[in-house]
Structure 1
Amino acid sequence: MKIVDLSRELYHRTPSYPGHPPIIHGIWKTHEESFADSGNVYGLSSMFISMADHGGTHIDAPRHFGKSGQPINEYPLENCIVPGICLDLRHIAPRAEIGPNELEAAVNKAGVPVPKGGTVLLCTGHHERTFPRKEYATDNSGVNVAATEWLAGRGVVHFGIDSMRPGPDGKVNLLVHKACLDLDITHIESLCNLEALLGRGRFTFIGLPLKWRDGTASPIRAVAVFDM
């Protein structure tokens, strides 16, 4: 098999969503400190991390969209290993809306149907163009409500995008989140390296969340798996 990593690297002060707490990553104990603590027997280094559940590459839980939604620890794992396709939307302008017509044209160009019970990853080129500059947090294109309904109508369990939010910054993005709750789907944010999937057809997407009690989201190690 061929595995393509679609996950952003996590490190101290990784760019995080505006208004969310920063990602803090540091040394808890050095090898030397541990060695001394063990009576000079053996040194085991360890680190710590503090972050929002929406940090880095992550999947939003339905609980994020409304109190009635599932928390991440109850999200079906069957939805986390699914067939997927990737659509080329790099021609869409920064901050612009992606509608059903753009999605349909991209599917036709890809030459593979939307997998029912699967996922659609949207390659806008935003991560490659802007990360880690400040524009990464503001200038993304994204789907509108009609496009979200179009995806749900084709039976996806979620969709993913290479930016911090599924829709363009502002009201449209908030309405897309609400639509996901109403349509019983969710989305994955802050993917990267989607360009490596273009033109390669269907793959298996894997993105397993942490089992955080009552979590509104979770970081995932997102990968695409191709049979060789």
Structure 2
Amino acid sequence: MKIVDLSRELYHRTPSYPGHPPIIHGMWKNHEEALAESGNVYGLSSMFISMADHGGTHIDAPRHFGPRGISIDQYPLEKCIVPGICLDLRHIAPRAEISPADLQTAVKQSGVGVPKGGTVLLCTGHHERTFPRRAYSTDNPGVNVAATEWLASQGIVHFGIDSMRPGPDSDVNLLVHKACLDLDITHIESLCNLEALLGKGQFTFIGLPMKWREGTASPIRAVAVFDM
């Protein structure tokens, strides 16, 4: 078994979506402070985290798209461990729309079909090109509504992308979110290291969310698992 980590590292003030709270990670109590308080042989250190539920690599809950969508604590875990493929879309220009034709060509070139009940990960090269510069939060290409509809028509449960949003930074992105609600799929944002999956065929994707009550999303540890 080989596991490929597809998750962004979380650290203090990791780049976060514009308008969302920053990711804050700091020391709550170090070993010396804990030892002085407890008088034990070992002081137990601990840290604290404050972040939006859309921080880092995360999966959007349907609740994010509209009030009739389910929250992340209700999202079926069966949809979090699924077969997946990765498509090479690195030739798509920054800020451009990914069309159904782009996806169809990429699937053909991959030599692997879209798995029913699975996921499709879109490697645009955006994370590798721009992270952690300011362009990471603005210059991504992304799917348009027609491409989102095409993905849903293939029987997937979600798709993922190596940027902060599924669509380009425009009204198209909002429309893609709303289309996901209507199509009963969702998406995963801020993936990384997708280049490691290209040309490797089908894998098992795992991305389990935390059980946030009424949450609109959750950070996940996204991985691709290959049988060896």
What band does the TM-score fall into relative to the shorter chain? over 0.9
| Deviation of 1:42 (Å) | 2.0
Alignment of 1:102-181 (within 5 A): 102-181=102-181
| Deviation of 1:97 (Å) | 0.2
| Deviation of 1:170 (Å) | 1.1
Structure 1: stretches of 5+ with no match in the other structure: none
Aligned counterpart, 2:185: 185
Partners of 1:83 and 1:125 lie apart in 2 by 22
Partners of 2:129 and 2:41 lie apart in 1 by 49
What is the one-letter code of the residue matched to 2:132?
P
Partners of 1:6 and 1:81 lie apart in 2 by 14
Aligned counterpart, 1:221: 221
- After TM superposition, the score normalised by the length of structure 2 is 1.00
Counterpart secondary structure, 1:84:
strand
What is the one-letter code of the residue matched to 1:191?
L
| RMSD, matched Cα | 0.4
Partners of 1:2 and 1:193 lie apart in 2 by 14
Counterpart secondary structure, 1:178:
helix
Counterpart secondary structure, 1:196:
helix
Aligned counterpart, 1:57: 57
Count matched residues. 228
| Deviation of 1:39 (Å) | 1.6
Alignment of 1:193-204 (within 5 A): 193-204=193-204
What is the one-letter code of the residue matched to 1:87?
L
Partners of 1:87 and 1:40 lie apart in 2 by 54
Aligned counterpart, 1:209: 209
Aligned counterpart, 1:80: 80
Partners of 1:181 and 1:213 lie apart in 2 by 19
- After TM superposition, the score normalised by the length of structure 1 is 1.00
Aligned counterpart, 1:67: 67
Alignment of 1:18-29 (within 5 A): 18-29=18-29
| Deviation of 1:121 (Å) | 0.0
Structure 2: stretches of 5+ with no match in the other structure: none
Partners of 1:113 and 1:40 lie apart in 2 by 59
What is the one-letter code of the residue matched to 1:38?
S
| Deviation of 1:40 (Å) | 4.1
What is the one-letter code of the residue matched to 1:130?
T
Aligned residues with identical type, % of pairs: 85
| Deviation of 1:53 (Å) | 0.1
Partners of 2:170 and 2:17 lie apart in 1 by 13
